[in-house]
Structure 1
């Protein structure tokens, strides 16, 4: 019937090329991993394709199911995933988004991996959690050379081999991490799980963990109280003799987002573990894994920003209101341009951190910069993701509020990265801790941002303000968020001034530092080159 005619609706964005992102590709080459562009582009086409987008949608519509016992009453503690989850995992592992960079001697291997992680993440965020943990476990595991030699090649293998079997007998491994407990949360030193040494060199682990993500992983790093203090242990799901380790899955968490991924509560009932690092050095050991997953928190937030931005711009380019395309309406151009600026800033600084990761092993200055820059960036970029997702959703109006648009899933996912691996206060205080314990990190930070001096007076003034903020440590914890926010913004601004698009750099500095900005997105000053900025968001 005529009343059912469909018009002025936006055509599907899928398929799209998720690698068509100037900030990403420019950063890839700038940080020394241009050799990976072909694979990044391949993943971009896959991630934005009909098939992968459907995998991600369905894997979230049909979340994992816990089976504690088999039909006969035997304890099995297994999680069943939708087949599409395994397809997502297979692509990620095949393309080396997990532990492969540690086995790759090419310069820029971690930068290449970061770009691929960012690009493929548009298909589904949930499965990137076990991929991230498998990447992050390697540097921590190296504190036990014997375990590292045995498992590292399998953690970097590009073969996805799902199923609970003895790790050494598999073609590839997935790893996880289990730290927090009911009573402690981020205060892991309050953990009550115990580890009792045995005559064969193993430990017997007894206790509980409040959050264990991806419980079907082949092995986990966990913290427990040994005779020498809080220590780090490796616990495989299947022991060398082929028997199941005593990791009991109590229930799966019913989460706000990240539905495709299983997160569980577990209990160790005299489970067998191997010490990683020294007794009493558990936090120091496992923090190496945490620091790598914090990088992925930044990447994940930047990925979500880009995904929301692309959807918003696509909608605005095709929707007509008041006799013109939505994207040509001045108020909407301001909003969209502001979203582009935030996304580009997150992507650019993310690639700088990835480059620092590549160089940290051989360059003390890069290691020091990474220490402080990762802490401040993790705080700010992850904190911005929910506001960015909400504004991008609103650009679609009511159409963005319905599940079919995909925007509600993006919005539900957006707070996770700020919570995971230390929520806002933990990240901000960690930045202060780095400055206090490693003063060379402060010097490295100022050396980095000072490279951009003399180009934009707003940025120059902001660098000076940081110096003043850091001269008074009297109430620094109370001011932690304010100080760290400014440090993160200045780091972003410096990267944009040096390497970003001129229109974006100018608008970023004028709005974020010059005071010519409101509280909501879409309050950029007049005179911003919105045409040049919006072109950065096109993916078709």
Structure 2
């Protein structure tokens, strides 16, 4: 009997002209731009090198995909009808939290080491490239520490747990935990960003208060406590609300989880306080000025996260076009593709440079440092987030139809792109805050002028653009022109940072493409720049 030959697979199923799988990525070693600007910001580069190598592995990226695929689930009651008010996450979420918290994401700024806030900011950038959803609870934990300085006793009790490199996702009291996280619940249905209309009430009861009210957004509802606002007898006041009391659960009742466009690995909820016990943080009536310290620090993270998202999208696009050919030529070698990618890279590196430069001011100790940080964090948050969706959209297009497919990770980045512009103050709120800071704090304006002046004399194009800005806005504009003013100022500040810290090819290309000469409104519609030098900043990961 003749042997039957084995079946032959059709040749059309060979994976021809398809990029290889990326495997492990060293997000520090493959990113020369990050290395440049982290050094300039005074960050702990040894720590970042270690973290970048770990967070970029194929295993970490797989965990990010799993945490998004299996969304958090709300569990209100146990089988006996007793309230649980818990959110349950896929194990991948907890693994990513363990890696981030364990590496000092929330702690490194307060450990007394080199460039703590700059190192933290770079960790935000790195983590956002893998899974942005876990950044929210870690960011708020980091940002809560300065707000807790308003009460020495609460600071002494909570900060050692918040600044510990230990993650414990179990629902139990603070005393039984090696590490803790802290969330935030401020927004109400009727008020939005206008916190003056907060309707939640706080009634004194001994040394504590009882809260009653509804919060439209509670970020990270499985945190061990929350900073929140409520109307006390003396006015709008900030409170720390523990999720667990010694006798059991506090009366914080989850109503539903928000069905969000992106950021799906992270839970956001509507909650109600039904007589929940709370500790007053700061004086009665000083709620906004107390919690603004937390907001100030979360805004730093919302300025760095878009740079990380842009980097992830551009790295994926570079990988694709570097291994795929069209018309017998590699995509990366085609002039129009190079022009588009180079243009996008200028936005990404500018955002990274500006964000880390602002983080350096957070590490500063002088009144000028603090004034500059208050002002510049708004400029960085505004401009970086306005650029992010467009960069990721164009990067998706570099992959053609595959850019629209979940397998590539591009859709997840695209869904995430608008978030940080909305969180902690949307664009209009940030622009008005910038104008308010300039009006109220002369030192903020002086520090910004010094920053811009430090880049003058290095090239006519920047000097001319700065002069044109001053002529256009000889004084602070009215509200209707606030976006134009802030965009112009943020772009000039970005150019100033690049001129001082980046290679001449990068700063020169940025100034030429963003501050001088006519150009179109879409990526790639700019004059000629040194594309090879700009694209080299994406590294070879």
What is the TM-score when the length of structure 2 is the normalising length? 0.96
Aligned to 1:509: 511
Is residue 5 of structure 2 the alignment partner of residue 5 of structure 1?
no
Number of the residue aligned with 2:131? 124
- Tell me the distance in 1 between the aligned counterparts of 2:467 and 2:175: 55
In 2, Cα distance between the equivalents of 1:281 and 1:469? 38
Counterpart position of 1:366: 369
CA distance in 2: counterparts of 1:453 and 1:217, whole angstroms: 47
1:289 matches 2:294: yes
Trace 1:92-107 onto structure 2 (pairs within 5 A). Answer: 92-102=100-110, 104-107=111-114
Residue 45 (structure 1) shift: 2.0
What's the offset of the Cα at 1:137?
A: 0.2
The partner residue of 1:301 within 296, 303, 306 is 306
SS at match of 1:15: coil
**Shift in Å at residue 433 of structure 1?**
0.6
The reply on whether 1:91 has 2:91 as its aligned counterpart is: no
Encode CA deviations 1:273-305: one digit per residue, 9 max, x unaligned.
Answer: 011011111000100000100000011111101
449-458 or 244-253, larger mean C-alpha shift: 449-458
In the TM superposition, what is the alpha-carbon distance from 1:29 to its structure 2 partner? Answer: 1.8
Instruction: Report whether the alignment pairs 1:319 with 2:324.
Output: yes
The 8 Å contact of residues 163 and 179 in structure 2, kept in 1 or not, is answered as yes
- The more displaced of 284-293 and 44-53 is 44-53
Checking the alignment, whether the CA contact within 8 Å between 1:222 and 1:233 is kept in structure 2 is: yes
Deviations 1:457-507 (A, max 9, x none): 22212222332344344x510000000000100010001111112112111
Say which SS state the counterpart of residue 221 (structure 1) adopts: strand
* Secondary structure of residue in 1 paired with 2:322: helix
2:449 matched residue in structure 1: 446
Offset, 1:161: 1.1
> Following superposition of structure 1 onto structure 2, how do residues 105-254 of structure 1 map, counting pairs within 5 Å?
105-198=112-205, 200-239=206-245, 241-254=246-259
Listed one character per residue, the Cα deviations across residues 14-60 of structure 1 (whole Å, up to 9, x for unaligned) are 32121121221122222222xx3232122222222111010000100
Of 229-238 and 366-375, deviating more is 366-375
1:396-411 alignment, distance < 5 Å: 396-411=399-414
Cα shift at 1:447: 0.4
SS at match of 1:127: helix
1:523 corresponds in structure 2 to 525
Partner SS, residue 17 of structure 1 = coil
Query: What is the match of residue 259 of structure 1?
Result: 264
User: In the alignment, which residue of structure 1 is the partner of 2:536?
Assistant: 535
Is the contact between residue 17 and residue 539 of structure 1 (CA under 8 Å) also seen in structure 2? no
In structure 2, what is the Cα distance between the partners aligned to 1:333 and 1:43? 31
2:81 pairs with 1:79: no
CA gap 1:437/1:16 in 2 versus in 1, 3 angstroms: same
Asked whether the 8 Å contact 1:100–1:157 carries over to 2, the reply is: no
Runs of 4+ deviating beyond 6 Å: none
Using the TM superposition, give the Cα deviation of residue 404 of structure 1 relative to its aligned residue in structure 2, in angstroms: 0.4
- DSSP 3-state at the match of 1:479: helix
Contact 1:90 1:160 in 2 (8 A): yes
1:377-396 → structure 2 map (5 Å cutoff): 377-396=380-399
The CA distance in 2 between the partners of 1:465 and 1:340, in whole Å, is 25
Stretches of structure 2 that go unaligned for 5 or more consecutive residues are 1-9
Is the Cα contact below 8 Å between 1:219 and 1:234 reproduced in 2?
Answer: yes
Q: Deviations over 1:80-128 (max 9, x none)?
A: 00000000000001111013422x1123111112122221322200001
Structure 1: unaligned runs, 5 residues or longer? none
2:32 is aligned to 22
**SS of residue in 2 equivalent to 1:210:** strand
TM-score for the superposition, normalised by structure 1: 0.97
Output the aligned Cα RMSD.
Answer: 1.2
Bigger shift: residues 325-334 or 163-172? 163-172
Conserved 8 A contact 1:16-1:539: no
- The whole-number CA distance in structure 1 between the counterparts of 2:63 and 2:243 is 27
Correspondence for 1:54: 62
